[in-house]
Chain A
Amino acid sequence: MRALKLHSTALALIAMTASGALAADTYGPFPVTLQGYAGDKTDSVSYSGQIARHALHDSLKKAAALGNGGANAAEVEALLLSYFNGSEADLDILAPTSKDGFPIKQSTVNAISSGKNISGKFYGGAMPAWPGNGTGKDAVLHMIAKAAQSENGYDAENGYDYAQLISKFTMGAMMYNQSVDNYLDEKLAADNKPNNKPYKEGAYYTGKEHSWDEGFGYWGAPAHLMSLTPAQAYDIAKGKDLAAADANGDGMVDLKTEYVFGPAYYAAGADKGGTKSTTYMHTIMQAFIDGRQIIADAKGEALSDEARAALKAQAAIIEQNWEQVLAEAAFKYAGSVYKDITKLGETEGDDKAKAYRAYVKHWGELKGFVMALQSGRNNLGATSVELNKLVGFGPVTLDNSYVTGVDANGNFVRDRRMTWNDYQLNMLKTQELLKAKFGLKSLANDQLAELEGLAGKLEAEASAETD
């Protein structure tokens, strides 16, 4: 009899763990734990505000390429600012939009969440990586103004691709910064948004539940990301794999819970490419889920010290991996820029113009991610200084000059020159620095890999054999 009892206890335990594991495969639903809640809500998860900001960001990037060289500058700038600052009107989502075989449920920002903006959540600290000695927000506003005056977001003379610059910078200055420097930082403190009180008056979720949800929202992942491969996640962001995206099987992609936005997309890209030895995407996602479970397990009580420590441990995993994802992306594009310079030297005429366009695009991505890295919770100190020196305010342009600053009117000044060789060397050093400082492993586009590969091949030859 006793044996039987033990047996059934074991079974029950297995069943519990099994259901626990099942529940922890997706981000939500999580039960409503708010004590004294009398409403009919059953799921306490809510992060639609963050998804709306992702849509604003994607649309901002799209709109940054609408300029026609100056004639429509005022109009384009107003449009860009409406996405940046938010609008009274219900804005169209310019990206992502429905495609053949990939219908998207929401087509306006308010269909996700209303009253949201980017500006209120943008990194306001010093941003020495951009000329003008301003804050992160000053820098992005400068980019927006310049984008509006440019032709399709492309400024060949100074070597800027504004859509890339704005977008990649925002992934750090809003998403990464808000998540790791706000919701997963001070909002985890005992006296800030406690778990035994609603997030705000009348809310059905607790302070900690919603803080964590908002941190998760900025990560930009679908709730079922754990069941997707990095390749599937990558395809969803490219608007390709409806079957993988459509978790509820309604034939549409719900941006709130089924789509892959920027940060998660770059984690997927790092895992999918390079050495394929990383698991950033699933590591970050699992930490978000596990953290949310810790909060749910507190059942509406204030978190114990132990639970808070466990939660902070998950937050630390998220922050570290997220930082690495941004650094991996910068690493990859530094490699692209290096390769683009080699190609520039080999081409002439139209091909050269095309190669230069690709170079400027890749540089914009590199620069954006380098700036994103400097918008987190960590002060990177000397690493920032070094990165900013190596990458510069602008890339080396066709006459070998590069942007060294701005004048009083915010116009770019290019009063120095650098050889292509030297700039290529800077890219190698950028890769070396990023790899060493952030412990990178994916290392896509590693321009020193050939050197290491050949050295590895010859290793056996490195014998001490004498005669």
Chain B
Amino acid sequence: MDLFTDIFGDLWDPKKRIFFGYLFLSLVIAGLWLVAIKRTGLRDSLRKLFDRGVFFSSSAKADYKIFVINRIFTLFISPLLITQMTIATAIFFFLHGVDWISKGQFAETPKTVVVTLFTLSMFVFDDFTKFLLHRWMHRWPLLWAIHKVHHSAETLTPITVYRVHPLEGVLYGLRSVFVQGSLIPVFLFFFGGTVDLVTVVGVNALVFVFHVTGSNLRHSHIDIHYWPWLERILISPAQHQLHHSTAVEHYDKNFGVALAIWDWLFGSLHLSEKGRDLSFGLDAKEASASQLTDIYLRPFRDMWAVLRRRAKRLRNWVTRTQTGPSKTSGQP
């Protein structure tokens, strides 16, 4: 029983994206989208929503297995929270040593302002660092070797969010530790004990809004898109699906999670394309969609290959720079 809750607990935890309540709301949103906006018949809509070809594809089945297996690796993430306190304490101490600021300098600020500011900052900083790390995962070959696991999915279901290599989980855990470890001490130093987070069911209110408005549909076959102006502010499900697309023109677009402004600023924004059928996944040479041993082990092989290439290049460069000057100096 304990093992069962350990593995499937996220489905009951409103702090997690795949909480059954959010899944249900996503289903409602998708249904409304198909029936009311896309003018699809009820029977066809239901058939589309519960498409067996999507939910029981070999790629989706691999997602489910990865979901279970990865729970074991969450054990490696919990110790990171200790690191978080270390970072927070170090920054808190550091701030005490800065002469021109003082503890509780803005302690008089009304609580509502402080709490709103903290909640907003937390959400924005969190979202931005997720964007940044995601971008690096695509740009740096060493990280792409890890992130490929997620992009090897050929069908997208809400569980695909768990289809990540454990190393990616660690990196995202570190990111979270960094964000919280730095924001908490800064706010506490300046505002004192009034700092708090606006939460709904224990989660940042803004994250809650993100979840109840269908965050699960990002990884789905329901291509809900927003008005173009809104897609410059918030990433629509269709925009994220486009991020998974195999089409070359869609490569390295839409790294954002909730906010689209980062992609807009960094030039990687791509609005959704109405009526375009997308296909997902990677070339079989790059990654397997369903072979578990390949999914877990290939990243290590690929990273090793990247490192070996780098080492070779370094060696070549060293030999070049060493032999270069001797040649010229040898010539009168």
Q: Which residues of A contact B (CB under 8 A)?
A: 341-342, 345-346, 419-422, 424-425, 428-429, 432, 448, 450-452, 454-455, 457-467
A459 to B93 alpha-carbon distance, docked (Å): 21
Residues B96 and A428 in contact, CB atoms below 8 Å apart: yes
Q: B315 contacts the other chain (Cβ, under 8 Å)?
A: no
Residues A467 and B92 in contact, CB atoms below 8 Å apart: no
Inter-chain contacts of B148 with A (CB < 8 A): none
A48 to B257 alpha-carbon distance, docked (Å): 73
Given the contacts A454-B184, A466-B164, A428 and B93 also touching, CB distance less than 8 Å: yes
A sample of 20 inter-chain contacts (CB < 8 A) reads A342-B103, A345-B103, A422-B96, A425-B93, A428-B96, A450-B192, A451-B88, A454-B184, A457-B199, A458-B180, A460-B15, A460-B202, A462-B80, A462-B173, A464-B169, A465-B16, A466-B130, A467-B150, A467-B161, A467-B240
Given the contacts A421-B98, A450-B193, A455-B184, A464 and B93 also touching, CB distance less than 8 Å: no
Residues A463 and B92 in contact, CB atoms below 8 Å apart: no
Inter-chain contacts of A461 with B (CB < 8 A): 15, 122, 126, 176, 180, 203-204, 207
A452 to B172 alpha-carbon distance, docked (Å): 21
Known contacts A454-B184, A461-B203, A467-B134; can you find 6 more A-B pairs with CB under 8 A?
Answer: A341-B103, A419-B99, A420-B102, A421-B99, A452-B85, A455-B180
Q: B30 contacts the other chain (Cβ, under 8 Å)?
A: no
Complex partner residue of A462 from B84, B202, B218, B257, CB under 8 angstroms: B84
A107 to B156 alpha-carbon distance, docked (Å): 85
Distance of B38 from chain A, by nearest CB (Å): 25
Complex partner residue of B16 from A448, A463, A466, CB under 8 angstroms: A463
A15 to B84 alpha-carbon distance, docked (Å): 56
Residues A460 and B203 in contact, CB atoms below 8 Å apart: yes
Interface centre among A428, A432, A450 (most CB of B within 10 A): A450
Q: Which residue of A lies closest to B150 (CB)?
A: A466
Distance of A120 from chain B, by nearest CB (Å): 44
Given the contacts A345-B102, A466-B134, A467-B134, A455 and B188 also touching, CB distance less than 8 Å: no
A268 to B33 alpha-carbon distance, docked (Å): 64
A429 to B97 alpha-carbon distance, docked (Å): 12
Residues A466 and B176 in contact, CB atoms below 8 Å apart: no
Residues A429 and B93 in contact, CB atoms below 8 Å apart: yes
Which secondary structure dominates where chain A touches chain B?
Answer: helix
Given the contacts A342-B104, A421-B102, A467-B161, A455 and B88 also touching, CB distance less than 8 Å: yes
- In this complex, the interface size class of chain B, counting residues with CB under 8 Å from chain A, is 35 or more
Complex partner residue of A450 from B74, B188, B199, B240, CB under 8 angstroms: B188
Inter-chain contacts of A452 with B (CB < 8 A): 85
Residues B102 and A465 in contact, CB atoms below 8 Å apart: no
Q: B242 contacts the other chain (Cβ, under 8 Å)?
A: no
A455 to B170 alpha-carbon distance, docked (Å): 18
Inter-chain contacts of B204 with A (CB < 8 A): 461
Residues B130 and A463 in contact, CB atoms below 8 Å apart: no
Complex partner residue of A451 from B16, B89, B176, CB under 8 angstroms: B89
A432 to B86 alpha-carbon distance, docked (Å): 12
Interface centre among A422, A455, A467 (most CB of B within 10 A): A467
Inter-chain contacts of B88 with A (CB < 8 A): 451, 455
A425 to B134 alpha-carbon distance, docked (Å): 37
A452 to B181 alpha-carbon distance, docked (Å): 10
Q: B221 contacts the other chain (Cβ, under 8 Å)?
A: no
Given the contacts A451-B92, A463-B16, A467-B218, A458 and B184 also touching, CB distance less than 8 Å: yes
Interface centre among B89, B96, B134, B257 (most CB of A within 10 A): B96
Distance of A435 from chain B, by nearest CB (Å): 12
Residues B168 and A466 in contact, CB atoms below 8 Å apart: yes
Inter-chain contacts of A459 with B (CB < 8 A): 81
Residues A448 and B92 in contact, CB atoms below 8 Å apart: yes
Inter-chain contacts of A425 with B (CB < 8 A): 93, 96-97
Residues A463 and B176 in contact, CB atoms below 8 Å apart: yes
Residues A464 and B172 in contact, CB atoms below 8 Å apart: yes
Residues B96 and A421 in contact, CB atoms below 8 Å apart: yes
Q: B145 contacts the other chain (Cβ, under 8 Å)?
A: no
